[in-house]
Amino acid sequence: MPPPTATLSVASSSSSLSLFPFSSYSCSKQPQLRFCPSPTPTRLTHFTPLTTPNYPIGKLMTPSAVSIEKETMISERPHTFLRETDGKDDGSIRARFQRMIMEVQDSVCGALEALDGTGKFKEDSWTRPGGGGGISRVLQDGAVFEKAGVNISVVYGVMPPEAYRAAKAAATDLKPGPVPFFAAGISSVLHPKNPFAPTLHFNYRYFETDASKDAPGAPRQWWFGGGTDLTPAYIFEEDVKHFHSIQKRACDKFDSSFYPRFKKWCDDYFYIKHRGERRGLGGIFFDDLNDYDQEMLLSFATECANSVIPAYIPIVKKRKDTPFNESHKAWQQLRRGRYVEFNLVLNPVIIKLDRFDILDFSKSDR
């Protein structure tokens, strides 16, 4: 396969080739991608940047800075991973967010199994002695999906004051002593077999510090984060428009500024600087979101998570049986290498809360 060029080229079994200028599915500071009104997909090759993104990535919490207990495997999934002191299902944000991610895990896994036809998710459940736990589900070598993981984590831990300061950039809030925290989230990466069907990543999470105002540590804080993004090896205009329309519809139900704001955030973040290219074709991304009503943001995160199925399943259903050859598969593998490269090179500092995947509650989420 020839090396990437500074173009987007049509890639099909007929070996026809044409070039396209750039348009709107990128951030404003990068060369942008324009799609032709054609059923033939374009192949994502290489972007040459005009400037580097100017979005501040922020501060990081290092793994060594945070204390999280080792997990213990269990034979059956519990009804809740919340501590007794949190109540089992008391209507709190913690309880409702946990219920939401469990329901989304069930619905997404059900939709993927129905589409695959033969593949089934294998489930592992785990807990930690001090409270919390998670459910990891993996479907591998199915008829449609090469590998799909949909995982939830509910985690309690302790961070030192300096880690809290790094996470929140709020030295004036800081009091001496460790800072207990609660974190819950759902994280998923879906890899279809067919090179013409795109990879999807989504992650929605809630973070809360546990210390009360009068206790040693930091004052209680909370925030939401997450996003859904699409990474195709071959680009179909109608698929990208469909995917982004679902993201916009979910955002517009709450605030008309959300979609352009979170789309740009996604475009700027998923950018491989040393290659001058993006990981994929974006979606939405947000982090440290607490400047709106908490109930509204819970509803917003729920709406976004529930939008995964209508945004993604119709695309895979349409592309899963498209004929492909070894060249197409090789290109898919190269693009997957870029996906891994982004996580290893640009997002190496994480808090590992889950055995299969990561839920990053730092200021530099995936």
What single DSSP character describes residue 19? Answer: B
β-pair type (179-192, 42-43) = unpaired
Instruction: Say if residues 29 and 51 touch (Cβ distance below 8 Å).
Output: yes
Coil, strand or helix: which one is 263?
helix
Tell the residue number behind the tokens 């951030």, with chain if given.
Answer: 27
Catalytic residue among 46, 79, 191, 201: 201
Tell the residue number behind the tokens 């973070």, with chain if given.
Answer: 207
What is the rounded distance in angstroms from the CA atom of residue 358 to the CA atom of residue 366? 9
Instruction: Say if residues 282 and 63 touch (Cβ distance below 8 Å).
Output: no
Find, among 175, 172, 205, the residue nearest to 187 by Cα: 205
What is the rounded distance in angstroms from the CA atom of residue 1 to the CA atom of residue 44? 14
Instruction: Say if residues 94 and 86 touch (Cβ distance below 8 Å).
Output: yes
Active site residue 274: no
Find, among 273, 254, 189, the residue nearest to 228 by Cα: 189
At CA 231, angle to CA 261 and CA 256, rounded to 5?
A: 20
Q: Which residues are catalytic?
A: 201
